[in-house]
Amino acid sequence: MQLLDSRPELALTLDAALTGCMVVFSCIDEEIRKITDKYSRADVLSGKGKARAVWNHDRLRDLLDGLRGQQGAINFLIQLVQL
């Protein structure tokens, strides 16, 4: 951790990227809960739930794209730390 102590901007950037991941994961969790909250007792997604999944497809894709961006940022920071 000496590198992060000597480079506080790197630590702050890594913290921001990890916080961004947490926010995106929270949003994904919320969207999934909205889709699956109407499961029947047989654990089959209801017609309304399927419609919600299709309706929210773009939102979920945007969230996953955001998560990929955060992953790229974290990978880049890890590469910087390894130098």
In this prediction, residue 68 has a pLDDT band, given cuts at 50, 70 and 90, of very high
Residue found under tokens 């773009």: 58
Q: What is the pLDDT at residue 26?
A: 93
**Residue 60: left if φ>0, alpha if ψ -120 to 50, beta else—which one?**
alpha
Share of the chain above pLDDT 70, in %: 78
More confident residue, 48 or 82: 82
